[in-house]
Chains A and B, each alone.
Chain A
Amino acid sequence: MELTRRDATAALAAVGGAGGVALAARQRADDPEDGDEAAAGDGDNEDDAALDDVAVRASMTAVAAVLYPSEVDGVGAFVDRFLDGRLDGSAHAKGIRIAVGELDDAARSWYGGPITELSESECDRLLREVGADTAEEDSDGTLAERARYYVVNELLLALYASPTGGELVGLENPQGHPGGTESYRRGPR
Chain B
Amino acid sequence: MSAGSPDRTSVANADVCVVGAGPAGALVADRLTADRDVVVLDAGPRFDPDDRLARQERAIRPGYDRPDVWDVGGERDAHASSGERFYPLNHARVKGVGGSTLHWQGMVMRLHEADFDSETERGVGADWPIDYADLRPYYAEAERELGVAGASDNPYAPPREEPHPMPAFEPSYSDSLFAEACEELGIDMHSVPNARNSEPYDDRSACVGYGTCQPVCPAGAKYDATVHVDRAEGEGATVIDRAPVQRLEHDADRVTAAVYATPDGTEHRQEADAFVVACGGVETARLLLLSESDRYPDGLANSSGTVGRFFMDHLFAGVGGTLDEPTRQNHVGFYTSACDQFYDEADAETAPFKLEFFNYAGPSPVEEALTGDDWGDELLGRLRDGYGTHVAMGGLVEQLPRADSYVGLDPDRTDDHGNPVPDIHWSIDDRALRTIERANEIQRSILEELGAEIEWVAGPDATGPAYHHMGTTRMSADPDGGVVDADCRTHDLDNCWIASSSVFPTSGAMNPTLTIAALALRVADDVERRL
On A, residues with C-beta under 8 Å from B are 13-21, 23, 26-32, 34-36, 38, 66-71, 124, 133-134, 136-139, 149, 152-153, 156-157, 159-161, 165-166, 168-171, 173-181, 183-188
Contact = CB atoms under 8 A, between A and B. Distances in A.
B209 A66 contact: no
Contact of A137 (B50, B172, B209, B370): B370
Given A13-B53, A30-B78, 8 more contacts: A29-B90, A35-B74, A36-B242, A67-B376, A134-B373, A149-B61, A170-B326, A185-B170
B71 A38 contact: yes
A27 B68 contact: yes
12 contacts: A20-B50, A21-B55, A26-B63, A29-B68, A157-B57, A159-B369, A166-B365, A169-B387, A174-B330, A175-B211, A178-B218, A179-B331
A79 B281 CA distance: 47
Query: In this complex, which of B170, B332, B333, B384 has the most chain A Cβ atoms within 10 angstroms of its Cβ?
Result: B332
Interface string B70-93: 011111111000000000001100
B67 interface: yes
Nearest to B198: A181
A14 B251 CA distance: 53
B65 A29 contact: yes
A186 B173 CA distance: 6
Given A16-B53, A26-B68, A185 B60 contact: no
Contact of B210 (A23, A175, A186): A175
- How big is chain B's contact interface, by range? 35 or more
B328 A184 contact: yes
Nearest to B364: A175
Would you call the interface of chain B mostly helix, strand, loop, or mixed?
Answer: loop
Given A15-B57, A184-B172, A185-B172, A21 B51 contact: yes
Interface string B291-334: 00000000000000000000000000000000001101011110
A16 B375 contact: no
A164 B366 CA distance: 12
- Top 4 nearest A-B pairs (CB, nearest first) are A16-B53, A29-B73, A184-B331, A21-B51
A34 B60 contact: no
Most A Cβ at <10 Å: residue of B65, B176, B375, B388: B375
Contact of B208 (A134, A149, A181): A181
Contact of B60 (A138, A175, A179, A180): A175
Contacts of A153: 61-63, 370
A85 to B, nearest CB: 10
Contact of B53 (A15, A31, A185, A186): A15
Residue of B76, B210, B379 ringed by the most chain A CB atoms within 10 A: B210
A160 B50 CA distance: 23
A176 B330 CA distance: 10
Contacts of A137: 61-63, 370
B64 A26 contact: yes
Contacts of A152: 375
